[in-house]
Amino acid sequence: MTRLSQALFVSLAIAASAAVAQDYPSKPLRAIVPFPPGGVVDTVARQVASKMSESMGQQVVVDNRAGASGSIGTALAAKSPRDGYTILFAFDTHAVNPHIYKNLAFDTLKDFESVSLVVKIPLAIAAAANVPASNLRELVALAKANPGKYSYASVGAGSSGHLAAEQLKLLSDIELVHVPYKGGGPAVADLLGGQIPFAFLAAGVVTQHIRSGKLKGLALTSAQRSAALPNVPTTAEEGFPQFDSGAWVGVVVPAGTPAAVIARLNTEVVKAVRDPAVSNKLSDQTMVVVASTPSQLDEFIRAEHDKWGRLIREAKLNLGE
């Protein structure tokens, strides 16, 4: 191909992308949530999708496709048309699953393009009311004095809570037994009942119980204290400044989606997230509203992918079985 032909091809591609964006959207959008209704990702997606629908003049319909730690819905999104009418609300498992499942039907880093990071979700390290530990330092001391005696709950193997606990174990040289649950509800129920002493869960799941005093909030894995839980210290305050764990939700689209469409989607997602009606509700659930550029989310996902890959190797976790 000559230079003139190349230039003409690029010009035509740009013109085609602009033409598509000018008419976009001309029909409803599908927002795939790769987790069940009622969970953290679903909550975020429905808040954002509702505002996007108002702004774009087309319905953004949430489609829950749960299973395999988000892999089923993610695979569906990867195979969808590259026209901007299918978006995926990706969770932190988006960067973890490639290190867990050997035969994924998609490539996290190659099959998607980023739109915007929506929220970061700090984890709460919570304890049952009858546990003799009121902060993270005391948890570590208790575990050191009783190796292997204490267990902790998470919402599943490979979840952000599970990996956060494994990171803490490496940082503090303690032994804790992992008990995976099939969701935050059952984990919280056992924590409230004293059947399990500790849990590493999305902060919003335990916020009300910590406020009421039914559970102890030992620490949050956020850079700053949360206004929703002002009396719960951060992991850095508790002596672990290198503790870098937490969940997140971001919007991605199939690779090959026109750049102009991605730009429009970014504008709409950011507008929705920054709307006080949305941001206030998310903040009340201890989520940190971000709203990023596509390139910022892309860099973030790659960093998360590398970070959790290192941890899984270092901790010798065999999560695929």
Mean pLDDT of the chain: 92
104/191 same-domain check: no
Question: Which residue range(s) make up the domain with 102?
Answer: 3-121+246-314
Q: Hey, what are 189's tokens? A: 């129920």
> Do 189 and 264 sit in the same domain of this protein?
no
Report residue 20's pLDDT band, with 50, 70 and 90 as the boundaries. Answer: low
- Our count of domains for the chain comes to 2
14: confidence class by pLDDT, cuts 50, 70, 90:
low
Does residue 112 share a domain with residue 257? Answer: yes
Beta bridge partners of 87: 31
The average pLDDT across 126-154 equals 97
Q: Where would I find the beta strands (DSSP E) of the chain?
A: 29-33, 60-64, 86-91, 112-121, 123-128, 151-154, 177-180, 198-202, 215-220, 247-254, 288-289
Whole-model pTM above 0.75? yes
Q: Which domain-ending residue is among 181, 202, 220?
A: 220
Q: Torsion over CA of 252, 257, 260 and 264, rounded to 10 degrees?
A: -30
Contact 250, 33 (CB under 8 A): no
Together in a domain, 116 and 165: no
CA 285 to CA 288: how far, in whole Å?
9
Q: Are 103 and 154 part of one and the same domain?
A: no
Cis peptide bond N-terminal to 147, omega within 30: no
